């Protein structure tokens, strides 16, 4: 074997090892996977403690959150697809980013990368004519136009 070849292999090995050590530097909190990020700090002085939703909203800031939305009446899967797609577009137009997944003929999941936006979306959704109810964190909010259907 050529001594030069061995030296090249040694140099590559040393380079790879030094790169791995550089990679051991801790990541910034926003670069970490969500489950490893530190929880958001909540300034209790600036929060309206009389409204527990405000505290919940702040605690979900930057965290993924799902809400369940039901469409009233007896819609087909296609109707639910069209209605929830329209709602999703309206939310996006208001800078509320939500992914939508149909889970039943009259039900969808709206997933928010920033959980604090779920309550803003809920305020919009419960005002819609075809919204039966919205569920966030096991709390159900009735659609304003469907009080008697629940």
Which pLDDT score, from 0 to 100, does residue 150 have? 45
Mean pLDDT by groups of 10 residues along the chain of 150 residues: 68 65 66 69 67 76 92 95 98 96 97 94 96 95 74
pLDDT score, position 46: 66
Distances (CA, A) of 19 to 15, 25, 30, 142: 6, 11, 22, 55
Determine the pLDDT at residue 111.
97
Q: Taking a C-beta distance cutoff of 8 angstroms, is the pair 89, 73 a contact?
A: no
DSSP string over 18-79: HHHHHHTSPPPGGGS-GGGSPPPP--GGGS-TT-HHHHHHHHTTTS-EEEEEEESS---HHH
The pLDDT, as a whole number, for residue 2 is: 61
Right CATH for 63-142 from 3.20.190.10, 3.40.50.2300, 3.50.30.30, 3.30.70.260: 3.30.70.260
**Residue 72 confidence (pLDDT):** 95
Q: Which residues contact 57 (CB under 8 A, 6 or more apart)?
A: 115, 116, 118, 119
Half-sphere exposure of 117 (CA within 13 A, CB side): 19
């Amino acid at each position: 074997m050529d001594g030069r070849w061995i030296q090249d292999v040694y140099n590559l090995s040393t380079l790879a090892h030094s790169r791995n050590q550089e990679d051991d530097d801790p990541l910034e909190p926003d670069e970490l996977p969500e489950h490893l990020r530190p929880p958001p700090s909540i300034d209790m002085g600036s929060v309206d403690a009389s409204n527990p939703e405000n505290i919940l909203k702040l605690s979900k800031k930057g965290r993924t959150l799902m809400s369940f939305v039901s469409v009233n009446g007896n819609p087909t899967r296609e109707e639910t697809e069209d209605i929830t797609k329209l709602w999703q577009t309206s939310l996006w137009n208001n800078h509320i980013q939500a992914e939508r997944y149909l889970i039943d003929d009259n039900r969808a999941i709206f997933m928010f990368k920033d959980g604090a936006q779920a309550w803003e979306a809920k305020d919009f959704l419960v005002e819609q004519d075809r919204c039966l109810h919205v569920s966030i964190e096991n709390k159900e909010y009735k659609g304003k136009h469907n009080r008697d259907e629940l």
